[in-house]
């Protein structure tokens, strides 16, 4: 197979579509493996920054690109796809306003690839999606001009498993699941990923690979929903859920700790369950367990809102007109990624109820241009003692390591901590309330 020889000799040209949290780490790994990589994106601003060797994602250093400048070409010109040997799609798969899959990015990108498709090319989808996307929907689009998958070109699916800013795992060390439309497709895709990861995990089909990604994140979503529900119950019973979890963790088998929070965030865990729920309808099947988990997690921001009202009431204040300082709008600690962050929903709810909301996040200087929250247009405040003193309530949503927790506790009037961050940092105070 000519493509396999090209891959193994590092002569294959790699094209990566979508230069975000998934695509950029792949660019770096392929460059490290001595491939020439072309990065495609419709966002000219991103491409221009990358051409200057500048990263726009906080945990990805600019030096990681400048070190491989001779091997990396960012572009907005998709006509260059015809020159690629391997094309990897890393585009968004969000939910629409009705919480159903929005496949606009995947299908429009596939149509673009189809326009430039050449014999012998390998096309791989990495975006999270429902089973059948690759070998049914994408294949039909790619085959419209006469080339056949498995015969004229290779088609595969390999789910991204990115965990931004995870210090323990990287693209190279996370096992890579790979499924091909045919056996030859699988061989080609496995050969490609073998060059950049320590272990590839071949599976029997693209559908199995797609389902693997869904199961991984639905597992997390369901368990987070379980512990969120336990938190709501234990709160009424006067039991500290955080202490319960720490005690349960001492069991060396049969238990894995999950933690409650203000809601789910990120691009995968809040979204993936609904992709399977939507696809299940085609088979006249209702995923009740998954739907219940989604309902619980989706309602957590409303629980936070209720607790804000209760705490303010203790100080004889109404939510309407109160000054609320939100700490952290990123979806997880120590990243600049605010996609799907529960903080956005919480801010929207607080504003809807008349609160005067401001925020501080050392990783997110601006909060604007949000798909589902077009009315949010805010700038992160500098965290000073005056800002803390002038706030009626401080609401910690994201537990960034950069926060000076003793400083915050010293000058805040009252604090709602949705992450148990203050106690983890050794701070116990009458000002603290969990939510």
For the residues of 154-206, what is the DSSP string, one character each? EEEE------TT-SS--TTTS-EEEEESSHHHHHHHHHHHHTT-S-EEEES-H
**Domain for residue 354, yes or no?**
yes
Annotation says 268 is catalytic: yes
Whether residues 245 and 190 share a domain: the answer is no
Work out how many domains the chain is built from and give that number. 2
pLDDT tens for each residue of 200-221: 999 999 999 999 999 999 999 9
Whether residues 154 and 178 share a domain: the answer is yes
Residue that terminates a domain, selected from 208, 233, 250: 208
| CATH code of the domain containing 147 | 3.40.50.720
Whether residues 294 and 390 share a domain: the answer is yes
Q: Which residues pair with 393 in a beta bridge?
A: 324
Residue that terminates a domain, selected from 208, 230, 248: 208
Whether residues 202 and 234 share a domain: the answer is no
Q: What is the CA radius of gyration of the chain?
A: 23
**Domain for residue 374, yes or no?**
yes
Whether residues 197 and 300 share a domain: the answer is no
Whether residues 373 and 254 share a domain: the answer is yes
Whether residues 248 and 196 share a domain: the answer is no
The catalytic residue among 31, 90, 185, 268 is 268
Residue that terminates a domain, selected from 186, 208, 230: 208
**Domain for residue 213, yes or no?**
no
DSSP state of 392: S
The pLDDT value given to residue 64: 82
DSSP state of 282: G
The pLDDT value given to residue 382: 96
The pLDDT value given to residue 1: 62
Whether residues 272 and 299 share a domain: the answer is yes
The pLDDT value given to residue 16: 98
**Domain for residue 71, yes or no?**
yes
Whether residues 310 and 424 share a domain: the answer is yes
**Domain for residue 243, yes or no?**
yes
Whether the CB-CB separation of 156 and 122 falls below 8 Å is answered with yes
How would you classify the pairing of strands 86-89 and 122-125? parallel
Range of the domain at 85: 2-208
Whether residues 304 and 342 share a domain: the answer is yes
The pLDDT value given to residue 190: 98
**Domain for residue 215, yes or no?**
no
Q: Which residues of the chain have pLDDT under 50?
A: none
The pLDDT value given to residue 273: 87
């Amino acid at each position: 197979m000519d493509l396999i020889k090209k891959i193994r000799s590092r002569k294959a040209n790699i094209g990566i579509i979508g230069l975000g949290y998934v695509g950029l780490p792949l660019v770096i790994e392929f460059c490290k493996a001595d491939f020439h990589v072309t990065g495609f994106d419709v966002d000219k601003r991103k491409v221009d920054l990358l051409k200057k060797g500048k990263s726009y994602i906080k945990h990805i250093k600019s030096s990681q690109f400048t070190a491989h400048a001779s091997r990396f070409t960012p572009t907005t010109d998709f006509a260059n796809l015809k020159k690629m040997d391997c094309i990897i799609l890393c585009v968004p798969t969000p939910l629409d306003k009705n919480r159903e899959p929005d496949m606009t990015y995947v299908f429009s990108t596939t149509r673009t690839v189809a326009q430039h498709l050449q014999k012998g090319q390998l096309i791989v989808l990495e975006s999270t999606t429902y089973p059948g996307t690759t070998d049914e929907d994408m294949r039909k689009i790619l085959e419209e001009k006469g080339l056949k998958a498995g015969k004229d070109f290779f088609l595969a699916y390999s789910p991204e498993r990115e965990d931004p800013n995870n210090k323990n795992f990287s693209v190279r060390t996370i096992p890579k699941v790979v499924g091909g439309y045919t056996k030859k497709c699988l061989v080609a895709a496995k050969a490609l990923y073998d060059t950049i990861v320590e272990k590839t995990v071949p599976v029997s089909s693209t559908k199995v690979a797609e389902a693997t990604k869904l199961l991984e994140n639905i597992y997390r979503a369901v368990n987070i929903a379980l512990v969120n529900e336990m938190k709501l119950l234990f709160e009424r019973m006067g039991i500290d859920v955080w202490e319960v979890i720490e005690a349960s963790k001492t069991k060396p088998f049969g238990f894995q700790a999950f933690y409650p929070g203000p809601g789910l965030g990120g691009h995968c865990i809040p979204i993936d369950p609904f992709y399977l729920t939507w696809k299940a309808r085609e088979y006249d099947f209702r995923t009740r367990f998954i739907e219940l988990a989604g309902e619980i997690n989706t309602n957590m921001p409303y629980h936070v809102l209720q607790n804000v009202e209760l705490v303010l009431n203790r100080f004889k204040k109404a939510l309407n007109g109160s000054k609320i300082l939100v700490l952290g709008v990123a979806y997880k600690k120590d990243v600049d990624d605010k996609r799907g962050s529960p903080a956005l929903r919480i801010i929207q709810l607080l504003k809807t109820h008349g609160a005067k909301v401001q925020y501080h996040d050392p990783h997110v200087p601006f909060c604007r241009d949000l798909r589902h929250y077009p009315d949010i247009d805010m700038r992160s405040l500098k965290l000073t003692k005056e800002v803390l003193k002038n706030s009626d309530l401080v609401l910690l949503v994201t537990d960034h390591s950069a926060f000076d927790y003793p400083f915050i506790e010293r000058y805040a009037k009252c604090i709602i901590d949705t992450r148990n961050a203050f106690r983890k940092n050794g701070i116990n105070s009458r000002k603290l309330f969990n939510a």
